[in-house]
Structure 1
């Protein structure tokens, strides 16, 4: 009988956390969700789930910012975050000590990008990215088959973009005001338009501003890295795939047939779209991180 390893994954999001057990999209043996509240309550609930599972490795794909420098004494911890109470929370040492299994951690967006590369719309691609637009805005960028990371992981969701004419919203990011996250995340949209995104009319001008600001982020990503594919998911974007034609048009206009990117702008129907794994990209990202941990451990 061929031995099949079992991977546990934890996807920690701004509003909910998902615990998943399996090896991929065709082998999900269990999946449970808990609300993201304070760290002690949330992690205890996740540990209670993990305690009932048998697994060979654990992958964590978490909202950030995270300390991902292996040389840092705070490796695997949440850095300064607008999520109340989570700054400085350790996500790795307690779980490694509790379960004694190979463990790896990545940002939730890089995890989703790795899942897209293993099983989704980025299979066979060496450069691509996954963008989430939900409680926050994050970008997981893969180049040369590896996550792009310097002394810290990137925070492209906090880049600044040119504002739409007449748009004077100050932004909702507590650190940067009107960065992209401060303009188009779920909480930013709720503050900007005085109601949550799900209550905004489908054809409203609010979404034109959303497209303008997100297209600015896309322009900067394309002129910097020209990823072979860009997937956009998350709680705000997932129900609104109808916005992709407008995003493609805005991005093509912004690229403006420039040089080597002119063919790119003509190929956006295939290059820019939803994740191939749909709303499962995030949870499966935690499994992908766990599989990487097992591979590195020689499992």
Structure 2
């Protein structure tokens, strides 16, 4: 008897990644395509899964890790919806309902960053930790929070990229976030780097002052997260983090911001094992989506 076939969607604001497999790390088929309109993008994903079923057999469950904000409240009338997203075309999109109505399988649903955090927790840089942070620094700043080996939910879900940060004295930049201006995302995501310096980060040399400023803002945000959540590890990925000089600077500035209050060697000795790059890197999201599918299948 063959294993149940799992399906996963990493629904990102820039691209969708869809995959089917027997487990989160036994992927049989995968596709990637740009995120366009809701109908076009979701139908393309559905058609991919339909083709997989014809070739590989029936899909048992689906997991979706989606950009947000999203409604994760099972008792809510809008559970499974993307809500107040800056991607206007996607606001109020019922992404779970779209696939439930067509595929008729149980669906696990969470944010894309929570899904990625779960993937890193079981198969990547979060192994051995029951409480940790996963952040992605790219076109936006998002984060997944795992507490006692579960993704943190509450009134909504963590939106760590939108915590407020104080501008550095030598930085007059007002921020790019349409909601908050100078929040962490508004000051330190990829679009903020490009708007501040006139070039995208990928075109800036390693010794450019942008990277010291970037580390300063990210460390300020991390200081608040360390004090609130006390993570055992902080995993930081995304395009902005592909800078070899940025991790040591973040560790140094985090130590300065906490100023001895968190008296742990991870902080005071700036240990390299505390703030790390993801092990699964661009595989974390789809791994987590398939984990959501696995969990959805197990509760039926």
TM-score interval (norm. to shorter): over 0.9
* CA pair 296-260 structure 1, distance change in 2 beyond 3 A: farther
2:24, 2:291 within 8 Å by CA — same for their partners in 1? Answer: no
What's 2:167 paired with?
163
Deviation at 1:216, TM superposition (A): 0.9
Q: Secondary structure at the residue paired with 1:11?
A: strand
5+ long unaligned stretches in structure 2 = 54-58
Q: Secondary structure at the residue paired with 1:52?
A: helix
The two structures have a TM-score, normalised by structure 2, of 0.93
1:173 paired to 2:177 = yes
What's 1:252 paired with?
255
Could you tell me which of 117, 120, 140 is aligned with 1:116? Answer: 120
Q: CA RMSD in A?
A: 1.6
Could you tell me which of 283, 288, 293 is aligned with 2:291? Answer: 288
2:24, 2:290 within 8 Å by CA — same for their partners in 1? Answer: no
1:38 paired to 2:37 = yes
Inter-partner Cα distance in structure 2 for 1:138 and 1:267: 24
Inter-partner Cα distance in structure 1 for 2:92 and 2:268: 42
1:251, 1:265 within 8 Å by CA — same for their partners in 2? Answer: no
2:266, 2:274 within 8 Å by CA — same for their partners in 1? Answer: no
5+ long unaligned stretches in structure 1 = none
| 1:13-51 deviation line (CA, Å, top 9, x unaligned) | 121111112245641211110101121221121111111
Inter-partner Cα distance in structure 1 for 2:194 and 2:31: 28
* CA pair 56-245 structure 1, distance change in 2 beyond 3 A: same
1:23, 1:287 within 8 Å by CA — same for their partners in 2? Answer: no
Q: Secondary structure at the residue paired with 2:81?
A: coil
* CA pair 70-63 structure 1, distance change in 2 beyond 3 A: same
Deviation at 1:236, TM superposition (A): 2.4
| 1:211-251 deviation line (CA, Å, top 9, x unaligned) | 111111111111111111111112322x2244111111111
What's 2:14 paired with?
15
What's 1:273 paired with?
276
* CA pair 268-5 structure 1, distance change in 2 beyond 3 A: farther
1:14, 1:136 within 8 Å by CA — same for their partners in 2? Answer: no
* CA pair 90-25 structure 1, distance change in 2 beyond 3 A: closer
1:154 paired to 2:154 = no
1:132 paired to 2:136 = yes
1:69 paired to 2:73 = yes
Inter-partner Cα distance in structure 2 for 1:242 and 1:96: 45
The two structures have a TM-score, normalised by structure 1, of 0.93
1:157, 1:179 within 8 Å by CA — same for their partners in 2? Answer: yes
What's 1:231 paired with?
235
* CA pair 13-265 structure 1, distance change in 2 beyond 3 A: farther
1:188 paired to 2:192 = yes
Deviation at 1:262, TM superposition (A): 5.6
* CA pair 251-126 structure 1, distance change in 2 beyond 3 A: same
